[in-house]
């Protein structure tokens, strides 16, 4: 009897782990396992504790980016010389030209054409470049080289690290500045107690918007710097055609998304017209009318928000494509002029 009691007690303890949220098993997919093995290899290759610590932190930041983008492990490819020799070779050659270590290279599946680089450390070996598979497939080898030169230009100048270093103090200063401004307005203009919080909230929001404008301005400057590096270290004409492809495709994606929303906006409006002819309980009719109006307004709001997010304004992180192209052409002309002067000087010496 005692043995049975002990067995039942132990069984209860084991099963009770589930009651307190413990997971008795975990599922690791083959893609996730492959990612873990690659990450662990990178960590184990570091000889010093400080380097291991930085690598773990860096890989954690990469995972956060993938989570924010909603990229599943099945939509992620860790690029090497075997699974994508062209992309790997182009990136390696460009990195060597810019005197940079080869970054981690990731290919991801998303509808939007995009490429971006991250580097949060002074040591350039803790860097990564991401490119979407559809963008990669749409580019010629030389266009791909130009795009990768742009992204590696960001790493060369440590733009992501610098932007992070600027953003945090800017947000803190904007918050403090807004609070101080709101407090000054409250005391100077004798604002009533019930409205004081609103004044401070508006002041902080205003200062935060100014801060966001400053961060966006710096980001646009960094994009221009990366364009300059790419124009000098690859074919500027290919950089321009690559930018045009990105702009055209992403504009088409935006157009499709807004067309989808227009379709439902129209049908919600049509249903509201038809509802007038329907015979039903007045309260039920009023509720349906409200729901149709709410759905139509929601779709309109989402449509306008999507359009505004893609417009170029003081909060844009990238300059307008046409402005970037003008700037690249100026850089190319200046480089050609410099090369001609060098050639003329060589002839004069000889």
Q: Residues spanned by CATH 3.30.2010.10 within the chain?
A: 30-156
Backbone dihedral angles phi then psi of residue 218, each to the nearest 5 degrees: -60, -40
211: closest CA among 244, 178, 243?
Answer: 178
Q: Using CA atoms, how far apart are residues 284 and 343, in angstroms rounded to an integer?
A: 83
Q: Name 325's Cβ contacts closer than 8 Å, sequence gap at least 6.
A: 240, 243, 244
Q: Using CA atoms, how far apart are residues 101 and 94, in angstroms rounded to an integer?
A: 10
Q: Using CA atoms, how far apart are residues 302 and 166, in angstroms rounded to an integer?
A: 31
Residue with token string 């409205």:
195
- The vertex-274 CA angle with 271 and 278, nearest 5°, equals 120
Distances (CA, A) of 253 to 57, 250, 309, 324: 34, 5, 13, 21
3-class DSSP state for residue 149? helix
Q: List, run by run, the mean pLDDT of 10-residue segments along the chain (350 residues).
A: 49 48 66 92 92 92 91 92 96 96 94 92 90 96 97 95 91 93 89 86 92 93 96 95 94 86 90 88 87 89 76 81 93 81 59
**DSSP, res 75:** G
136: closest CA among 66, 64, 83, 74?
Answer: 83
150: closest CA among 226, 239, 232, 247?
Answer: 226
Q: Using CA atoms, how far apart are residues 132 and 151, in angstroms rounded to an integer?
A: 13
In this prediction the pTM is: 0.79
Query: What local confidence, expressed as pLDDT, does residue 350 receive?
Result: 54
Q: Using CA atoms, how far apart are residues 293 and 299, in angstroms rounded to an integer?
A: 10
Query: What local confidence, expressed as pLDDT, does residue 153 receive?
Result: 96
Q: Using CA atoms, how far apart are residues 298 and 242, in angstroms rounded to an integer?
A: 35
End-to-end CA distance of the chain: 107
Residue with token string 């966001």:
212
Q: Are 117 and 222 in contact (CB under 8 A)?
A: no
Give all strands (DSSP E) within 94-210, no chain letters: 104-108, 115-119, 127-132
Strands 104-108 and 127-132: parallel
Radius of gyration of the chain (CA): 28
CB atoms within 10 A of CB 119: 25
Tokens of 141: 């080898």
CATH dotted code for 30-156: 3.30.2010.10
Angle (deg, nearest 10), helices 236-275 and 282-309? 170
Tokens of 301: 């709001």
């Amino acid at each position: 009897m005692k043995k049975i009691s002990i067995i039942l007690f132990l069984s209860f303890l084991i099963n009770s782990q589930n009651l307190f949220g413990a997971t008795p098993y975990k599922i690791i997919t083959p893609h996730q396992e492959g990612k873990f093995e690659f990450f662990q290899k990178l960590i184990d290759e570091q000889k010093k504790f400080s380097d291991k610590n930085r690598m773990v932190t860096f890989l954690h930041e990469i995972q956060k980016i993938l989570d924010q983008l909603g990229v599943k492990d099945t939509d992620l490819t860790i690029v090497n010389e075997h699974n994508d020799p062209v992309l790997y070779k182009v990136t390696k050659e460009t990195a060597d030209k810019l005197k940079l270590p080869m970054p981690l290279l990731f290919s991801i599946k998303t509808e939007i054409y995009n490429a971006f680089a991250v580097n949060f450390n002074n040591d350039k070996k803790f860097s990564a470049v991401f490119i979407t598979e559809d963008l990669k497939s749409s580019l010629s080898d030389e266009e791909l080289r130009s795009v990768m030169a742009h992204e590696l230009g960001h790493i060369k100048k440590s733009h992501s690290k610098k932007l992070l270093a600027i953003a945090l103090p800017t947000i803190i200063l904007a918050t403090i500045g807004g609070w101080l401004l709101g407090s000054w307005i409250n005391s100077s203009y004798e604002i009533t107690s019930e409205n004081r919080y609103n004044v401070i909230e508006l002041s902080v929001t205003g200062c935060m918007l100014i801060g966001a404008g400053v961060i966006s301005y710096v980001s646009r400057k960094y994009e221009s710097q990366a364009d300059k590096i790419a124009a000098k270290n690859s074919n500027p004409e290919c950089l321009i055609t690559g930018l045009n492809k990105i702009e055209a495709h992403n504009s088409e994606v935006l157009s499709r998304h807004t067309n989808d929303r227009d379709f439902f906006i129209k049908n919600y409006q049509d249903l509201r017209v038809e509802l007038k002819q329907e015979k039903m309980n007045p309260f039920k009719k009023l509720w349906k009318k409200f729901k149709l109006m709410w759905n139509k307004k929601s779709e309109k709001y989402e449509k306008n928000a999507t359009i505004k997010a893609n417009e170029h304004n003081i909060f844009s992180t990238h300059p307008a494509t046409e402005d970037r192209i003008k700037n690249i052409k100026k850089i190319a002309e200046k480089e050609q002029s410099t090369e001609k002067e060098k050639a003329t000087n060589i002839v004069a010496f000889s």
